[in-house]
Each structure stands twice: as structure tokens, then as C-alpha cells.
């Protein structure tokens, strides 16, 4: 086979089987297409899986972040500390509610929010911290909880990368006051679009259930059961509901999650073995006492050993039909943030330097060992060609 004939390996891909299709079809034949029994069942299953008291299903991970920020009552004038090495939605959720995102830099070896940098950014208007479990590794929640406690702040975990991850034996979803998940097809389990917030706090849960339904205090099913038409809108909310069709798919996918997590970890081990002897590549550090959920497999290029930059290596890998990607351009460097909040280069030098070096390799449970080997072989070939002193 020539390179152009080799199958393309994407950076991520959902895994849907006949069982999933059957579960969705059954909902299509049922009474409820949205906000019916599947929603509650999916919420309860996710809450049980992560070890949280409550789970609130919403239409996507961004809505989950918005609902979490809303539950905390963040508003104009409030500051929320977040890392720049994340998807824009993390910070956008703060902006949706009129708050001000304040970016605290990451640790150079894990690219996780650095607790020391968080503490340095706390001021009189700081209300909350949003930690991001980048790539699927939980942040240092012991340190973050201690800081939040000392300063009277709320702690949100954006665990959209980290369903199934653990910190000191506790799962992501039970490590912060509120935790958000995404069920976008690129993530650990797919509902098409979908999201969830988990919390132990019943008031937060109730507020978020209202928020996802226009700020109305009861849903249609509850009114039907009570035989009443009457409802009241008690606060401004949105239509952020997740459908029964999607929740049925999520429930079916969730049953496979433990096996998928094990497969992701096996792929990561194989990458680690195959890449350890490439001096031009560094692997991200994984801290003790953490179970990594490996949504992403991110490497750091040692640019001083290379005569090409990340973008050239990215293109060369794409020519090899390997779906490498970049996660992420730091949020504070996006034009909107620069314009609206006067952020820019120099604000978070560790994230900015890492951004020049990061490359995401394919990682999804349906990848075969042969696929992993092909990615590693292609990377070694491209890197050899781009090495200083090399051919
Ligand atoms: C995917 C993701 C989101 C947003 O989730 P959507 O379901 O796409 O809205 C938020 N934060 C992080 C870190 C993500 O990876």
C-alpha cells in the first residue's frame, strides 16, 4: 500500500454497536422522546458510577459548565480562576453569566492547573476555581480543595476529559463541589451531543434542573403526573434538556466504559513503550495516586532537537494518514479574549511555551495494536526526517 491508500486513523472516534442501536430504537417506539424515564435512569447510573449523590443531564458539556457556573450564582463582577490549556467552553461559561475568567498557568510536565499559580491569582472578587482534568488526568484536588477552603471559594471540576479517572481512589465527579462531563462523540462515551453535572449538593442539583428547563420549577412529566397545567418560571433558564433517545444511548455506552477505559490505558502503555526511545519527544508526566482516563494522548516535541516546528510535523503526520491534532491553543490567546479581556502573550508563559510543542496522537478504544504501532512508526519516521543532525 502507498501512504495515500492507508486508512486514516482519526484522533478520536465513537464506538456504536448493535446493542446501542437497539436501545435507541426502543425509545423511538416508546411514549417519551425527551425528559422521560431514560433521563432519570442515565442520571442515576452516572451518579452511581462516579460516586456522587446527584447528576443532572444537560444538552452538552458546555451547557453543563454553564449550569455549574449558574448554580454557584456567579454574576457580574465575580472572578473565576481557570487554566488556559483547555477548550474555550471552560472559560466561556463564566462569561455567559457575566463573570470574569482569570487565567492561572499550568504545570509544565502535566499541563494541569498549577495550585501555586491559582493561589497567586486570588483577589477580593474571586468566587470560584474551575480545574480542568486535561487529557484525562485529575488535577491535584487535595491542594485545590485546601486553597478553595482557605479562601472561601467554590471548586468546579471540568472533567469533560476524565470520565472514569481517579484521584487518591475517588472518581472524577466526586472530587469537587460540581463536576462537568461531555458526551460528544470524541469523548469517553457518546450521546451525539450531551453533558452531565454531578454534585453532592441537593440545592445545586435542583437549581440546575430548573436552569435546563427555562427556569421553570416543574417539568412536563411531573405536571402530567400531578394532573395540572400550572407552572411557574422562577428564574431565567435555557432549554438545555437531553433527550430520552440520547440518554438511552448513554446508558448503553456506559456499560462498556470500564472495558474501554482499560483499553485506553493499554494503548497509553504501548505508546509509552514505543516512544520512550525517541529523544525528540517527551511524554506528559502522570502523578502518583491518579488513574488517568486518557481521553487524549498528548506528547511534547523537544523543539531544540528538531529543525521543524510542531505545525510541520503535524502536516507530515497528516500526510501519513495519521489524524494528529492540537489540544489546545491557550484560551487567553484567542482573538475574542484578547479583545474583550485584554489578555495576551506573556499572561501564562508555561501554557504558551507548551502550546508550541504539543501534539495529540490518536486514542480511542477501538484502535488496534497495529494502529498504535503505525502511529508510532510514522512519528519516528517524521521525527527522524526533521531532526537536527539527522537525515
Ligand atoms: C468537550 C469539552 C467541553 C465541551 O463539551 P461539549 O459537549 O462539546 O459542549 C468543555 N470542556 C472541555 C475540557 C472539553 O474537552
CATH number for region 257-386: 3.90.1150.10
For residues 242 and 175, the answer to whether their CB atoms sit within 8 Å is: no
303 CB-near residues (< 8 Å, 6+ apart): 309, 310, 356, 357
Torsion angles phi and psi, residue 180, rounded to 5: -110, 145
Atom number of ligand 1 nearest to Cα 327: 15
So where are the chain's domains? 18-254, 257-386
Q: Which residues contact 271 (CB under 8 A, 6 or more apart)?
A: 283, 297, 361, 372, 375, 376
Atom of ligand 1 nearest to the CA of 184: 7
Question: CA 220 to CA 31: how far, in whole Å?
Answer: 13
Compute the Cα dihedral for 164, 287, 295, 82 and give only its sign.
positive
At which residue does the C-alpha cell 488526568 appear?
Answer: 137
| Cα 177 to ligand 1 centroid, rounded to whole Å | 18
Per the listing, cell 472533567 goes with 159
**So what's the pLDDT on residue 385?**
95
325 - beta bridge partners? 360
Q: What is the dotted CATH code of the domain comprising 18-254?
A: 3.40.640.10
> Does residue 44 surpass a pLDDT of 80?
yes
Instruction: Grade residue 220 by pLDDT with cuts at 50, 70 and 90.
Output: confident
Q: How far is the CA of 158 from the centre of ligand 1 (A)?
A: 8
The whole-chain average pLDDT of the chain stands at 96
Q: Tell me whether residue 187 is one of the annotated catalytic residues.
A: yes
Task: Note the pLDDT of residue 106.
Answer: 98
Backbone angles phi and psi of 359, in degrees to 5: -145, 130
Of ligand 1's listed atoms, the one at least distance from the Cα of 186 is: 1
Catalytic hit among 187, 207, 307, 353: 187
Same CATH fold assignment for domains 18-254 and 257-386: no
Measured in degrees and rounded to the nearest 5, phi and psi for residue 203 equal -70, -40
Distance of CA 60 from the midpoint of ligand 1 (Å): 8
CA distances, 300 to each of 221, 278, 282, 317 (Å)? 50, 11, 5, 15
User: Which of helix, strand or coil describes residue 67?
Assistant: helix
**Beta carbons within 8 Å of 98's beta carbon, 6+ residues apart:** 74, 75, 76, 77, 78
Please give the model's pTM, rounded to 2 decimal places: 0.97
- Nearest residue by C-alpha to atom 15 in ligand 1: 160
How far apart are the CA of 6 and the centre of ligand 1, in A?
30
3-state secondary structure 166-182: EECCEECCCCCCEEEEE
Percent of the chain past pLDDT 90, that is, above it, reads 93
Report pLDDT digits (tens) over 92-139.
Answer: 999 999 999 999 999 999 999 999 999 999 999 999 999 999 999 999
Please, are residues 63 and 240 in contact by the beta-carbon 8 Å criterion?
A: yes
For residue range 181-212, list pLDDT tens digits in order. Answer: 999 999 999 999 999 999 999 999 999 999 99
For atom 5 of ligand 1, the residue with the nearest CA is 61
Q: What is the pLDDT of residues 149-176, one digit of tens each?
A: 999 999 999 999 999 999 999 999 999 9
DSSP line for 244-287: HHHHHHHHHHHTTHHHHHHHHHHHHHHHHHHHTT-TTEEEPP--
Name residues contacting ligand 1 (CB within 6 A). 60-62, 86-87, 89-90, 132, 158, 160-161, 182, 184, 195
Ligand 1 center from residue 130 Cα (angstroms): 13
Amino acid at each position: 500500500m502507498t501512504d495515500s491508500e492507508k486508512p486514516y486513523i482519526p484522533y478520536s472516534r465513537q464506538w456504536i454497536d448493535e446493542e446501542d442501536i437497539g436501545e435507541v430504537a426502543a425509545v423511538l417506539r416508546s411514549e417519551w422522546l425527551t425528559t422521560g424515564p431514560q433521563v432519570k435512569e442515565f442520571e442515576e447510573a452516572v451518579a452511581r458510577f462516579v460516586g456522587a449523590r446527584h447528576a443532572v443531564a444537560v444538552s452538552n458539556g458546555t451547557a453543563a459548565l454553564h449550569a455549574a457556573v449558574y448554580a454557584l450564582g456567579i454574576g457580574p463582577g465575580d472572578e473565576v480562576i481557570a487554566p488556559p490549556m483547555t477548550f474555550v467552553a471552560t472559560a466561556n461559561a463564566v462569561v455567559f453569566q457575566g463573570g470574569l475568567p482569570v487565567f492561572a498557568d499550568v504545570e509544565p510536565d502535566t499541563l494541569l492547573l498549577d495550585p501555586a499559580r491559582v493561589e497567586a491569582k486570588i483577589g477580593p472578587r474571586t468566587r470560584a476555581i474551575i480545574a480542568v482534568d486535561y487529557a484525562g488526568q485529575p488535577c491535584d484536588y487535595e491542594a485545590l480543595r485546601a486553597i478553595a477552603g482557605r479562601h472561601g471559594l467554590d471548586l468546579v471540576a471540568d472533567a469533560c476529559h476524565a470520565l472514569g479517572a481517579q484521584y487518591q481512589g475517588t472518581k472524577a465527579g466526586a472530587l469537587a463541589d460540581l463536576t462537568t462531563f461531555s458526551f460528544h462523540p470524541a469523548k469517553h462515551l457518546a450521546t451525539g451531543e450531551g453533558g452531565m453535572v454531578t454534585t453532592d449538593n441537593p440545592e445545586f442539583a435542583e437549581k440546575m434542573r430548573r436552569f435546563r428547563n427555562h427556569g421553570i420549577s416543574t417539568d412536563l412529566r411531573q405536571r402530567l403526573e400531578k394532573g395540572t397545567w400550572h407552572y411557574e418560571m422562577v428564574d431565567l433558564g435555557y432549554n438545555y434538556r437531553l433527550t430520552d433517545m440520547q440518554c438511552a444511548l448513554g446508558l448503553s455506552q456506559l456499560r462498556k466504559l470500564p472495558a474501554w477505559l482499560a483499553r485506553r490505558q493499554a494503548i497509553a502503555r504501548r505508546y509509552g513503550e514505543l516512544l520512550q526511545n525517541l529523544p525528540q519527544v517527551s511524554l506528559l508526566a502522570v502523578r502518583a495516586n491518579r488513574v488517568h482516563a486518557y481521553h487524549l494522548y498528548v506528547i511534547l516535541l523537544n523543539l531544540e532537537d528538531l529543525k521543524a516546528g510542531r505545525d510541520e510535523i503535524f502536516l507530515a503526520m497528516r500526510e501519513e494518514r495519521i489524524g494528529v491534532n492540537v489540544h489546545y491553543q491557550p484560551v487567553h490567546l484567542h482573538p475574542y479574549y484578547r479583545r474583550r479581556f485584554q489578555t495576551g502573550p506573556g499572561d501564562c508563559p508555561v501554557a504558551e511555551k507548551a502550546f508550541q510543542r504539543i501534539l495529540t496522537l490518536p486514542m480511542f478504544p477501538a484502535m488496534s495494536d497495529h494502529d498504535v504501532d503505525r502511529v508510532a512508526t510514522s512519528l519516528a519516521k517524521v521525527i527522524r526526517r526533521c531532526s537536527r543532525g539527522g537525515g
